[in-house]
Amino acid sequence: MTIALIVLAAGQGTRMNSDLPKVLHQIGAAPLVAHALAAGRSLEPERVVVVTGHGAEQVGKAVAKIDPEAQIVLQEEQLGTGHAVQQALPALEGFAGRVLVLYGDTPFIRPETLEGLAESTADVTVLGFEAADPGRYGRLVAKGAALERIVEFKDATEDERKITLCNSGVIACDAALLADLVNGLRNENASGEYYLTDIIEAARAIGKSAEVVTCDEAETLGINTRAELAQAEALFQSRMRAEAMENGVTMIDPSTVYFALDTYIGRDVVIGPNVVFGPAVTIESSARIEAFCHLEGCHISRGATIGPFARLRPGAELSEDVHIGNFVEVKNAILGEGVKVGHLTYLGDADIGEHTNIGAGTVTCNYDGVFKHRTTIGANAFIGSDTMLVAPVTVGAGALTASGSVITEDVPPEAVALGRAKQVNKPGLAKKLFDKLRAEKARRMKKDQ
């Protein structure tokens, strides 16, 4: 089955009370629209069209970053879901297959659900759900799986409002039929909008079949308020934790671990309490992440141990059996196999050779206020505590830097580098200085009384 996606992402989301377009609010460290696109991409669609409107420039930039192959179209006036789909149709010109219409603010529809929708043999298929509290959802008027029509809440009769089978808004339809039906929509309703839902009745009127495919209500959760956003975040995290444990990950206190949409963790990884994963983190099997770590944009190889209280930033690449200790930050740095960085250290824009030991308080001074510079340290080197490595600088394999050194020149392999200022002792000066300072403090206190 050849598939195309239309993702509706034009809404303002006034109840979010935000300058940010609704679909760019995040759960799992990714915009809502990224979740919808990820689910849709699981069907390997031939085309993806995203309809923007409110905050179109922002949304367009975000979508281009998330899915560079997606086509972005503009709905200049928000005249309803049917009108939004109509704006997408030119981008599907020449496409022959089934079109799925998704929503950028509905992040939890599972790929398996979308697959069932795509494989339906009906001319038009709608995704529905049994609602515990139907509220203001549109109702699906159906006989068994056969769908007669969809009625919006504000247009529904009292009897229709008693129906608990509700509309998710997600629809699958043949591309040519969808174009015919959408172009024939009218806006004679309470809102004066062109409802995509009206295509069901229109399809049946010309002898086409329509049916309902159902899913769990939780999959259809749409985000309209900050409270719903928080609810969605909690649901997302709960699902990710359950999936991780099912796949062989141990979490000491699962409720305190937070994942991103694209977090990948191998089996037999152990994660301590209060660990946060930002975007683009990959952890290979048998690694260990101790408590209170924050990781983003990094790759951790087998057998590595991280933390506690460590931060890995984008570009951190850790080879097998690397040890990162407490209060260590790594950014845009490649650490070879068996490197040890025990504590209180910053490694930025660096290449560290295998089995090198980095002492406490080491800093790669990589930024001069204008440019970033790189530090290179060879294999089996020993960097003494409180070493400042002023990049660009290279420390050769097997070399050693003395504690408290400021290294501004390259260090040859197997050499010892000392970069300390000469120590000068002034006998008796400390007592004189303290006596002077205490007298000044007493004078100021007396003056303030």
83 is annotated as an active-site residue: no
Q: Do 159 and 132 touch, CB atoms closer than 8 A?
A: no
The CA distance from 214 to 122, in Å, is: 14
Q: Please report how many Cα atoms fall inside a 13 Å half-sphere around the Cα of residue 423, on the Cβ side.
A: 4
The two tokens of residue 245 are 């444990």
Give the 3-state secondary structure of residue 300: strand
| DSSP string for 138-191 | PEEEEETTEEEEEE-GGG--HHHHT--EEEEEEEEEEHHHHHHHHHT----STT
Q: Do 169 and 103 touch, CB atoms closer than 8 A?
A: yes
The CA distance from 337 to 414, in Å, is: 19
Cα torsion 3, 5, 6, 12 to 10°: value is 160
Q: Do 99 and 40 touch, CB atoms closer than 8 A?
A: no
Hunting for tokens 């950028």 — which residue is that?
Answer: 104
The CA distance from 357 to 401, in Å, is: 11
φ and ψ at 312, to 5 degrees? -110, 125
Neighbours of 5 (CB within 10 A): 25
Catalytic annotation, pick one of 54, 294, 343, 355: 343
Give, in order, the Cα–Cα distances in Å from 39 to each of 111, 260, 437. Answer: 5, 15, 68
User: Would you give the end-to-end CA distance of the chain in angstroms?
Assistant: 87
The CA distance from 152 to 33, in Å, is: 24
Q: What angle do CA 16, 87, 192 make, to 5 degrees?
A: 65
- Report which of 186, 191, 197 is spatially closest to residue 155, judged by C-alpha positions: 191
313 CB-contact burial (10 Å; exposed 0-12 / middle 13-18 / buried 19+) = middle
Q: Which residues are catalytic?
A: 343
